[in-house]
Amino acid sequence: MQNAVDEAPAPGAFPVDGYRLSRLAQAVEGLSREQLRWASGYLAGLAEVHTLPSPQATPSSSLTILYASVGGNARAVAEELAAGASTRGLMPRLVSADQYRVRDLAKEKLVYFVISTQGEGEPPEGAQALFRYLEGKPSPKLDDLDFAIFGLGDSSYAFFNQAAKDLEGYLQAAGGTAVVARIDADVDYAAQTQAWFDQVLELAEQACPMQDAQVIPLQRPPAPAVRHDRHRPYRAEVLENRRITTTDAVAAVHHLALAIDPAAIRYRPGDALGVLFRNDPALVDELLSLTGLSGDAQITVRDEPLSLYDALRSRLELTQLHPGVVRAWADIVGDSTLSAVVDDKAALRTFAAERQVIDLLRAYPGKLGADGLVALLHPMQPRLYSIASSQSEYPDEVHLTVATLAYQAHGRRHLGAASGHLTRRVEPGDVQAVYVAENNGFRLPRDPGAPVIMVGSGTGIAPFRAFLQERQAVGSQGAHWLVFGNRHFHRDFLYQTDWIGQRDAGRLDRVSLAFSRDTDDRPYVQNRLQQEGAELYRWLRDGAHLYVCGSLAMEKAVRGAVQEIAREYGGLSEQGASDYIDGLQSQGRYSKDAY
């Protein structure tokens, strides 16, 4: 049996490639000093039974893979790309944009960017520093940089993949060279990844020549740790599913608790939980009846043979109508009215946003077979929900706050796919497929004593429940201010007993409420902020971090209110107030989770 190599690496040699080092850094992120000591001993123990790579077997590489993710898709693509690079013998450096030193970009030779777009064409929160650096004056000099960009977006939005487009423009303006054409991937991006991987990795092999290397295999390779994602979800048992709004409330909001193994699932306050769901069987039956197709018909979805019924239940999107589906259906049926909608981009987005697939097929009848229906529809996309618990408080549980989307339109009752699944069809004891979607742009301050202002409306209150649980667990002495809005105090005050308990324990210093249907003046959270503007500005002046969670429209209104407060109480001009908000963002003191 070959003996283990236990001598130290030669000076300057590095036995762990960039991809594996990145994964190791992610694995230990957030561990306490005691946990790090244990992990150090654990790794040292592994070294006694595993052969280490020869110090001379150190290939050189100048490939950096930089990702900026919103819901985890960009990270998943970047990790798959890094894994592919490693199998080719390259040593890629895989790094999240929020962990990247932006000035190092001027030293790079080859960078592959994987970036999502959020909101109204904005880059992810974690990429804000990178974009500010590229937009800065004077512009950075990147004449030696070769790059490629894989953009992820949704063509139903007006600013489709705008972050990727802007990034390319900034890089080229700074002297960088695109080695391949930018990819603008839509919701169904999987088909585009492999071809792009093959192209850019071949270029990387040419650009990053390998040194001669002698690879010594491990004697007893450990079983690889499974990283749970949308393709490999974790199966969590549902422990609790209870309604937390009154029966006469407009929205039925549920609190769900799911059991997890803390060795397999780790999350941090601010993260979201990706939920894989099944479409409503009643909706599937209605669609089959409308199209006259048999649920027993055998079809194929991504090389997987299954029945049409099963595909409609668990593989295909039925409730979120994508403009691309409307466009394809217009070509099939040849209806002039629908074609006119398709020709107007704004009208098409509005049309799709207000309807489900069945509304389209009912209003504009047409004939197609089972394979045609499958080809028409988009793959089902997981839904993301802000996590409403801290793992420091609930190590083996994860909590969600889910509002049922239910409304009457186009002659029928509509139900949200994932929200209906979670609140109406999932019961304690059931198993739910989930995964953690990290949100590094929405993190508590590193300083446990920093003041925190939390602004949320509706289910946007969920991450703040996690925030206070975490701050309690770490013994934070920082002040906390909750600003919450909903319709009615007695019907919709989500987690009211939690907030009362936190206040009574001295951990919630200030609470400002805005219940828009209880009074004639209909106050919203932005109105409460303006009314308490002097206090808000004092908190910010004292170093407070401001967090906003809710709809895009709400976040925009809150930003406007804070800007007006900065003008009134800080004596700033309109441009100065705008720069003030930008400054808070650059310091990590204004964070948003808007949807």
Please state the domain extents for the chain. Answer: 18-207, 234-276+382-437, 281-376, 452-594
**Pairwise pLDDT comparison (62 vs 593), residue with the higher score:** 593
The tens digit of pLDDT for each residue in 134-159 reads 988 888 999 999 999 999 988 877 78
User: What's the sign of the alpha-carbon dihedral 339, 344, 347, 348?
Assistant: positive
Q: Is the pLDDT at 55 greater than 60, yes or no?
A: no
**Pairwise pLDDT comparison (67 vs 47), residue with the higher score:** 67
Give the per-residue pLDDT at 310. 97
3-state secondary structure of 438: coil
Identify which of 28, 30, 8 has the alpha carbon closest to the alpha carbon of residue 20.
Answer: 28
Give the per-residue pLDDT at 458. 96
Q: Tell how far CA 317 is from the center of its chain.
A: 19
Tokens 């919701």, residue located: 187
Binned at pLDDT 50, 70 and 90, residue 409 comes out as: very high
Q: Is the pLDDT at 235 greater than 90, yes or no?
A: yes
Mean pLDDT, to the nearest integer, of 580-584?
93
Give the per-residue pLDDT at 119. 73
The tens digit of pLDDT for each residue in 177-229 reads 999 999 999 887 877 888 999 999 999 998 876 544 443 333 333 444 568 98
CATH 2.60.40.10 fits 281-376, yes or no: no
Percent of the chain's residues with pLDDT above 70: 87
The tens digit of pLDDT for each residue in 60-71 reads 358 999 999 877
Q: Are 387 and 461 in contact (CB under 8 A)?
A: no
Binned at pLDDT 50, 70 and 90, residue 27 comes out as: low
Classified by CATH at the fold level, domain 452-594 comes out as Rossmann fold (3.40.50)
Q: Are 128 and 586 in contact (CB under 8 A)?
A: yes
Q: Are 459 and 552 in contact (CB under 8 A)?
A: no
Do domains 234-276+382-437 and 452-594 share one topology? The answer is: no
Q: Which long-range contacts (CB under 8 A, 24 or more apart) does 130-138 make?
A: 130/66, 130/68, 130/97, 130/100, 130/102, 130/105, 131/166, 131/167, 131/170, 132/586, 133/102, 133/103, 133/105, 134/167, 134/170, 134/171, 134/174, 135/170
Q: Quote the strand ranges of 276-343, DSSP E.
A: 298-301, 304-307
Q: Is the pLDDT at 424 greater than 90, yes or no?
A: yes
Single-letter code of the amino acid located at 515: F
DSSP-derived letter for residue 475 is: T
Q: Other C-beta atoms within 10 Å of 217: how many?
A: 9
Give the per-residue pLDDT at 215. 39
Structure tokens at 93: 């450096």
**Pairwise pLDDT comparison (168 vs 72), residue with the higher score:** 168
Instruction: Please name the CATH architecture into which domain 18-207 falls.
Output: 3-Layer(aba) Sandwich (3.40)
Give the per-residue pLDDT at 269. 97
Q: Is the pLDDT at 463 greater than 90, yes or no?
A: yes
Calpha distance 366→364 (Å, rounded): 7
The tens digit of pLDDT for each residue in 468-485 reads 999 999 999 899 999 999
Binned at pLDDT 50, 70 and 90, residue 302 comes out as: confident
Q: Is the pLDDT at 246 greater than 50, yes or no?
A: yes
What are residue 450's phi and psi, to 5 degrees? -70, 140
Calpha distance 399→419 (Å, rounded): 14
Tokens 């981009």, residue located: 345
Q: Is the pLDDT at 17 greater than 60, yes or no?
A: no
Give the per-residue pLDDT at 288. 97
Q: What is the mean pLDDT of the chain?
A: 87
Q: Is the pLDDT at 165 greater than 60, yes or no?
A: yes
Percent of the chain's residues with pLDDT above 90: 72
What CATH number should be reported for the domain whose range is 234-276+382-437? Answer: 2.40.30.10
Mean pLDDT, to the nearest integer, of 318-329?
94
Calpha distance 561→537 (Å, rounded): 11
> Which helix H or strand E contains 466, and what residues bound it?
helix 462-473
CA trace torsion 342, 345, 347, 352 (10° rounding)? 70
Give the per-residue pLDDT at 53. 36
Q: Is the pLDDT at 545 greater than 90, yes or no?
A: yes
Calpha distance 468→498 (Å, rounded): 10
